[in-house]
Amino acid sequence: MRILFVGDVMGEVGQNAIATYLPKLKRRYKPQVTIVNGENATKGRGINQEVYKAFLTAGADVITMGNHTWDNNEIFDFIGDAKKLVRPLNFPTATTPGKGYTMVNVNTEKLAVINLQGNVFMGQNLANPFITVMPLVKELRQQTPNIFIDLHAETTSEKEAMAWYLDGQVSAVIGTHTHVQTSDNRVLPEGTAFLSDVGFTGPYNGILGMTRENVIGRFLEQMPTRFNVQEDSPAVLSGCLIDVDGKTGHAKKIQRLLINPDHPYFDD
């Protein structure tokens, strides 16, 4: 089983990058499951139904989210019916719309996709992701050994700790949120693929995708500033490919993907 994962899509630049490159990446690498984090997709904050459907049309099988899940109020109009949209599992179960995981059929096998949000420096008091996820992992393993986790978190330590905590129990723990792709991709000893942060998909010439002037001004003036997406920019697309033994759920290989003006995409 091959999984393609594309990190935090941001604004129209990110949307256009998905429309342009996702079909090409799918043709080249032939993944069985394609997952896209879309929590910044609509104007940098949240996602609406139009963008959600556009990602599915481009080839995504599952859309994961993060700390900006609720920033676009339009999500409340469709999340209840969006079977391929997954918000962080550790929001309060009884009161939060949507779901924290989904199951994808892959020929005769299945892949469970879980979205988690970290607690360290995230500004939200969610349930402990470590305590929340393990009962679900044990439950899902009764159906499939193939489990992918998008851990939307700030610190490398929290993401790395989660991967070691779940090593051998899940196929992959891949970090999102910081928008900077790390180079620590590896398969842990018991078979869990790990990458601290897959990076983001959006404006290459912004600062983490936001307008440079506003971000620099915040550092200079120390005054509240509204950050907007840097839309007049070429795109970066960040992702990874994970090869999994569908019978055991153990990862065999993880490869980073990066497309930007300094790392251009070439068709075969």
Read off the pLDDT of residues 13-48 as tens digits, 9 standing for 90 and up: 999 999 999 999 999 999 999 999 999 999 999 999
Q: What pLDDT is stored for residue 177 in this prediction?
A: 97
Which residue, among 187, 220, 182, 214, has the nearest Cα to 199 in the 3D structure?
A: 182
Q: What pLDDT is stored for residue 94 in this prediction?
A: 83
- Name the pTM for this structure: 0.96
Cβ atoms of 116 and 89 within 8 Å: the answer is: yes
In whole angstroms, give the CA distance from residue 177 to residue 197.
7
Residue found under tokens 């070429």? 234
pLDDT in tens, 136-177: 999 999 999 999 999 999 999 999 999 999 999 999 999 999
Which positions ≥6 away from 150 have C-beta within 8 Å? 5, 35, 37, 64, 86, 113, 114, 115, 116, 174, 176
Q: What pLDDT is stored for residue 124 in this prediction?
A: 84
Partners of 109 in the beta sheet? 106
Arithmetic mean of pLDDT over the chain: 96
Using CB atoms within 10 Å of the CB of residue 227, give its burial: 0 to 12 exposed, 13 to 18 middle, 19+ buried: middle
Q: Are strands 193-195 and 172-176 parallel, antiparallel or unpaired?
A: parallel
Residue type, 69: T
Q: Please, how many CA atoms are within 13 Å of residue 103, restricted to the half-sphere of its CB?
A: 14
The two three-digit tokens of residue 247, written as one number: 């019978």
Alpha-carbon separation of residue 111 from 2, 169, 210 (angstroms): 11, 13, 34
Q: Which amino acids are annotated catalytic?
A: 68
Which positions ≥6 away from 203 have C-beta within 8 Å? 10, 11, 13, 14, 209, 229, 230, 231, 233, 234, 235, 236
Cβ atoms of 53 and 60 within 8 Å: the answer is: no
At 226, is the pLDDT very low, low, confident or very high (cuts 50, 70, 90)?
A: confident
* Dihedrals phi, psi of 246, to nearest 5 degrees: -65, -20
The two three-digit tokens of residue 145, written as one number: 């050994």
In whole angstroms, give the CA distance from residue 131 to residue 190.
20
Instruction: Give start and end residues of each alpha helix (H) in 107-263.
Output: 129-140, 156-165, 212-221
Residue type, 185: N
pLDDT in tens, 104-122: 999 899 999 999 999 999 8
